[in-house]
Amino acid sequence: MTLNQWDDNILIMELLDEPDFSEDTDTLILKLREGNEPFPNVIVDLQNVATLNSSNLGALIEIKKILQTKDRRMVICNISDPIWSTMLATGLDQVFEFIEDTTTALLLIGS
């Protein structure tokens, strides 16, 4: 995983397939739960992720919930057609906020 602190307000998380996905999301969840730093908005870049399993989806939901309690946003970008199909099949297309690419997400969250 690459965590890029874009600025004080935005964190970009570039995820990879398993087993890295679970390790990386667990690391971010722990970091967010500690809450020692100001909470950033999070852009989740799934460009390098081919598939998602139920644990991956649960981790994304957990990150979103933590951020919502702090009035912060999570945006998912750069998703493939198979991942979009998973989101549609699970109804998570109605839960998460999706943006086409990282640049657009930065513009949206930064405004």
Delineate the domains of the chain, giving CATH numbers in brackets.
2-110 (3.30.750.24)
4, 23 Cβ separation under 8 angstroms: no
11: tokens are 């964190």
Query: CA angle, corner 82, sides to 72 and 66, nearest 5?
Result: 20
Instruction: Note the pLDDT of residue 6.
Output: 83
* pTM, 2 dp: 0.90
Residue 96 has pLDDT above 90, yes or no: yes
Residue 3 has pLDDT above 90, yes or no: no
Cα separation, 99 vs 24, in Å, equals 21
24-79 tens-digit pLDDT = 899 889 888 887 777 889 999 999 999 999 999 999 999 999 999 999 999 999 99
Give the mean model confidence (pLDDT) for residues 10-15.
Answer: 92
DSSP string, 42-110: EEEEEEE-----HHHHHHHHHHHHHHHHTT--EEEES--HHHHHHHHHHTGGGTSEEESSHHHHHHHHH
Q: Answer with the residue of higher pLDDT: 39 or 82.
A: 82
